């Protein structure tokens, strides 16, 4: 994969809220907490950031991994560190 994301599996119980009321419990299956720093091939990352300026997406690109994903690049999950 041209990018790597240190991450920790989500272990907390997740709740969806609406109007300050619990609207449901979210499954944590397959969910990860992203950490920084993240790594990527610089040429692909720069091109992905340039391309992202023209994207209209239903979600925000909040980190380099999201930018790489939006550009169609694979991002490998690697073991994160709780102390980081």
Q: What is the pLDDT along the chain (84 residues), one digit of tens a residue?
A: 999 999 999 999 999 999 999 999 999 999 999 999 999 999 999 999 999 998 888 889 999 999 999 999 999 999 999 997
Q: Are 23 and 17 in contact (CB under 8 A)?
A: yes
**Which 3 state secondary structure label does DSSP give 32?**
strand
Domain boundaries, given as residue ranges, for the chain: 3-79
Could you tell me the pTM of the whole model?
0.84
Chain Cα centroid distance, residue 14: 17
Helix (H) or strand (E) holding 51: helix 42-52
CATH topology of domain 3-79: Spore Coat Polysaccharide Biosynthesis Protein SpsA; Chain A (3.90.550)
**Which 3 state secondary structure label does DSSP give 69?**
helix
**Which 3 state secondary structure label does DSSP give 49?**
helix
């Amino acid at each position: 994969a041209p990018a790597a994301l240190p991450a920790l599996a989500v272990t907390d119980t997740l709740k969806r809220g609406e109007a300050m009321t619990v609207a449901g419990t979210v499954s944590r299956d397959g969910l990860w907490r992203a950490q920084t720093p993240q790594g990527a091939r610089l040429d692909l990352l720069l091109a992905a950031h340039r391309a992202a300026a023209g994207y209209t997406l239903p979600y925000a690109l909040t980190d380099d991994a999201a930018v790489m994903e939006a550009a169609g690049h694979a991002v490998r999950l690697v073991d994160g560190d709780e102390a980081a």
